[in-house]
Structure 1
Amino acid sequence: MNMSFGLFQEQTLKLVMTPELRQAITILQYSALDLRSYLQDQAAENPVIELQEISAAVETPMEQKPTPEIDWKELISNRATGDYSLARSESTYNPLDHVHAPSSNLYQHLKEQLGYTKGLTRGQRKIALFLIGNLDEKGYLEIETEEASRQLGVDLEEVEDMLSLIQHFDPVGVAARNLQECLLLQLQHTGLDDEKTVQVIEQHLDDLAQNRFSRIAEKLKIDLQEVQTIADLVRSLNPRPGAAFNQTETRFVMPDVTVEKVEGEYVVLVNESSTPRLTISRFYESMLKQTNSESEARQFIQDKMNAAMWLAKSIEQRRLTLLRVMQAIVEKQIDFFEHGVDRLKPMTQKEIAERVGLHESTVSRATSNKYVQTPRGVFELKYFFTSALSTANGDAASSESVKRRIKALVDAEDRSRPLSDQKLTELLAKEGIEISRRTVAKYREELMIPSSAKRKRYA
């Protein structure tokens, strides 16, 4: 083999991902709230960018219109123009600003009750506060009383006394050491701690969870109806008494698109009220026009101006893409909007991509982590893309409509004789839906419906 160095001319074709293209792709897959955060970051990095809050969505009719040539510099100037203008006097009222937040956590709630308890010494209060501080988010005691006694240097009896005191605080069942103790504390509080119920909780809690009522009835020498009554009582108790005070971050869904029915026609509205409008700083715009500006400063401002205009183009492209995709979804799923989930059709991203003339990956990014508000509720855009199941007449049914039908059949069943997965399969087949028993079981589990054995009732 001969090997040598040389210069050769070769023509190749390859895709180059420029920073601007990557930015446009990133912006397309952002939700409304993510886009808002991204714009704020860009404004912090680019001094040319200024953000103006707006309070209304841009209304766009469903019928396709030719996209007009847009003067991007004019679009991002301080003077709002065309269909993008909004009255500055419009209200900026946001109902989420008035959502009530929890006033205290579990520790503060119990500490406040401890403060109202009279007759305690300083040492006893110290022990009680230590125990309260060792409760987990569900309200259970995470530390052994022996370990607490050792760490505090006090007698075990004193720790047990303070634990007993805390267990009588609100919420009922708090500071329990395990699930059985938590349930028993609640029964004692209500006065329903009869011998058989206590035995079920202490000895047969796992059987109760698995609906093995026959085994419990045999062990305790009682009938199935009495076991069912005990089961209903135990299941009415709260296994996580401290969870109500767990202050996790509240997450709100901000619809990216709204679909409204106006005079018999469905209109798509792109929600831009949550996203500030990008504008150019008049100060830097005037500096750019000054002829005596230093060349380096002028070049810096010009680069930042170009970056701002490209960002505006990317935002507008995101809006138009989202609009076209949602219009195609509405056209395809018009029966869903008219009649409900039962009429949801099977649909793939490839179908929508072909309808709007986009790549399938673009449709995937446009629908990722985005929500639409419709007359039938708020849905994730991915909700409309469902697999197809064949029917007896040759048509296709969506997986979501089949799940809804399974839930309806289970809700209407006789609980003393619950429907098995095989019986559900047969009932769906009579309705013309061809589906396997395994698929029924999978859909039932996705709907968080227990098996027929666990749904069975004896009274």
Structure 2
Amino acid sequence: MAHQGLQQVQKQTQSLVLAPQLRQSLKILQAATLELRNSILEELQQNPTLEELPVDGISIEQQASEDKETNDSEPASTDEMQLSEEDYSKLSQLDEDYREYYTQEASNSQFTSEDAQRRQHFFDSLVSETSLQEHLLRQADLCDLTPQQKEGVDYLIGSLDDRGFLTISLSDAALMTQLPLGEMQKAADVLKSLDPPGIGAKDLQDCLLTQLKLTERDDTLAAEIIRDHYELLLRHRIPDIARKTSSKIEEVQFAIEEIATLDPAPGSKFSDDNNRIVVPDVTVEKSDDTWQIILNNDYIPRLRISPAYKEMIATGKIIGKDKEYIREKIRAGRFLMNSIEQRQQTIERITEEILKFQLDFFEYGVSKLRPLTMNQIAQTVGVHETTVSRAIANKFIETPHGVFEFKYFFTPGYQGKDGQAVSNKSIKDRIANIISNENPAKPLSDQEVVKILAQDDVKIARRTVAKYREELGILPTNLRRRFQ
């Protein structure tokens, strides 16, 4: 039997360890414009040797010239001058201003009750979106309800999903709250009477009927179709609905158009808003028959090394650990500025190659978009493919046809009969145009769309057309048919 026990084994392995400066450089390259601005502002607070240039102040080129002169004039001798009392006080004060500004302010002032009230007022004044539950609870507070009904309404409001539908049956809700089922039913009726119309329904069918009832349209053909012929409505079987309701096809179509005006998810308007502000990193525009690439530097602070610290280094007024500390901060500041400059240059070079390769897109639009891979751009720019991936991450480009993500221009495609490659986004655009121009009474099948695309030297399978049609949100043929 093998001996069991603890052993120490020494072995040699190789692993890739990213230096802190390399991590910072990759972070700067990958960051979006607004994220980069926040990172730079944080570094400004931590590094006392960095200063932000005013918008109309010294130019970056002039600042680069001054940095070179400072480097050339810095003495190489180890003979350092002793710090005077005045110099040491100045250095300490500058460093303290950056590291302990807020703590000094707090320690030098008395936090009074008035300050506490102002602080609380500030937090209370923060604007936030009203949730669906808050919106309904405020209305329920204004209703004349018994304590049991109020408890039931509050419980049902907490049981709504993002669409505004109930996620629990009334019998289960009554069991959980130990309320009579009759009181829970009254609570459900109160909930359905609140705004937005259709809230508190058990499903989509109930939601649509509730909206028609609240607007006194529960005796119309639209209500009859939803109530008695809901399955036929889902399958868009207009002739069958007309026959079962003894109505004309035109009347059924009008009723379906009325149903289409109803809100299928009344609670969705209160869901969290995930929209974000998009700031284009690059703008590509045409001026005098020439395409121009304009980098967006408006949100990126312009930095320089503080002249006060550079003067101390150049004149040799600081020695020992103080000088090493300042030199380290200056090196970190210069590395940050170089990383920002390299980021902008990389984005500009990638944009230039995209403009060359996708020139027809910039001229004519999405229909002329060509297939493109990151490896192709990486080879022409002279960087690794992963560098291109990081450089275009979370970044946008403004074109004459709208604002697009950089990733939008990197798509697979198909080979046409003439040998020209066609992007899948271009094919989607063609499919959307073909279907938008079809006869509503005789909508095109997926196979017919395939034949039309083949006339334009684009050969794809029928299942691919069906896939792209679904991604575009276009209904199948039977659901697009409109009877005259």
Q: Normalising by structure 1, what TM-score?
A: 0.77
Q: How far apart in 2 are the matches of 1:331 and 1:107?
A: 52
Matches within 5 A, 1:126-165: 126-165=151-190
Cα offset, 1:397, TM superposition: 2.5
Is contact 1:72-1:313 (8 Å) kept?
A: no
Task: Name 1:23's counterpart in structure 2.
Answer: 24
Task: Name 1:439's counterpart in structure 2.
Answer: 464
Instruction: Pick from 377, 382, 386 the counterpart of residue 352 of structure 1.
Output: 377
Is contact 2:217-2:223 (8 Å) kept?
A: no
Opposite residue 247 of structure 1, the aligned amino acid is D
Task: Name 1:190's counterpart in structure 2.
Answer: 215
Q: How far apart in 1 are the matches of 2:201 and 2:460?
A: 47
Task: Name 2:200's counterpart in structure 1.
Answer: 175
Is contact 1:345-1:398 (8 Å) kept?
A: yes
Is contact 1:256-1:371 (8 Å) kept?
A: yes
CA separation of 1:240 and 1:293: change in aligned 2, threshold 3 A: same
Cα offset, 1:313, TM superposition: 0.7
Instruction: Pick from 267, 270, 281 the counterpart of residue 245 of structure 1.
Output: 270
- Which one has a larger percent helix, Structure 1 or Structure 2? 2
CA deviation digits over 1:348-391, x for unaligned, max 9? 33333343333333333222221111222101112222334233
Is contact 1:420-1:452 (8 Å) kept?
A: yes
Instruction: Pick from 274, 282, 288 the counterpart of residue 299 of structure 2.
Output: 274
SS in structure 1 at match of 2:343? helix
CA separation of 1:321 and 1:369: change in aligned 2, threshold 3 A: same
Is contact 1:54-1:272 (8 Å) kept?
A: no
SS in structure 1 at match of 2:291? strand
Opposite residue 107 of structure 1, the aligned amino acid is Q
Is contact 1:258-1:271 (8 Å) kept?
A: yes
Instruction: Pick from 328, 334, 340 the counterpart of residue 303 of structure 1.
Output: 328
Task: Name 1:209's counterpart in structure 2.
Answer: 234
CA separation of 1:310 and 1:341: change in aligned 2, threshold 3 A: same
Q: How far apart in 1 are the matches of 2:62 and 2:15?
A: 31
Is contact 1:179-1:239 (8 Å) kept?
A: yes
Is contact 1:48-1:305 (8 Å) kept?
A: yes
Cα offset, 1:51, TM superposition: 4.8
Bigger Rg, which one = 2
Q: How far apart in 1 are the matches of 2:207 and 2:412?
A: 44
Equivalent residues, number: 415
CA separation of 1:75 and 1:347: change in aligned 2, threshold 3 A: farther
SS in structure 2 at match of 1:254? coil
Is contact 1:72-1:309 (8 Å) kept?
A: no
SS in structure 2 at match of 1:450? coil
Is contact 1:102-1:245 (8 Å) kept?
A: no
CA separation of 1:103 and 1:367: change in aligned 2, threshold 3 A: closer
SS in structure 1 at match of 2:439? coil
CA RMSD across the alignment:
3.8
Cα offset, 1:309, TM superposition: 0.8
Q: Is structure 2 residue 312 aligned with structure 1 residue 312?
A: no
Is contact 1:136-1:142 (8 Å) kept?
A: yes
CA separation of 1:121 and 1:192: change in aligned 2, threshold 3 A: closer
Q: How far apart in 2 are the matches of 1:451 and 1:290?
A: 79
CA deviation digits over 1:313-366, x for unaligned, max 9? 111001011111112222232222222222223333333334333333333322
Instruction: Pick from 411, 414, 428 the counterpart of residue 436 of structure 2.
Output: 411
Is contact 1:127-1:162 (8 Å) kept?
A: yes
Matches within 5 A, 1:42-61: 42-51=43-52
CA separation of 1:69 and 1:171: change in aligned 2, threshold 3 A: closer
Q: Is structure 2 residue 409 aligned with structure 1 residue 384?
A: yes
Higher relative contact order (CA 8 A, sep 6+): 1
Is contact 2:305-2:334 (8 Å) kept?
A: no
Task: Name 2:482's counterpart in structure 1.
Answer: 457
Q: Normalising by structure 2, what TM-score?
A: 0.73
Task: Name 1:255's counterpart in structure 2.
Answer: 280
SS in structure 1 at match of 2:342? helix
Is contact 2:149-2:186 (8 Å) kept?
A: no
Unaligned runs of 5+ in 2: 1-13, 71-126
Cα offset, 1:35, TM superposition: 1.8
Task: Name 1:90's counterpart in structure 2.
Answer: none
Is contact 2:192-2:200 (8 Å) kept?
A: yes
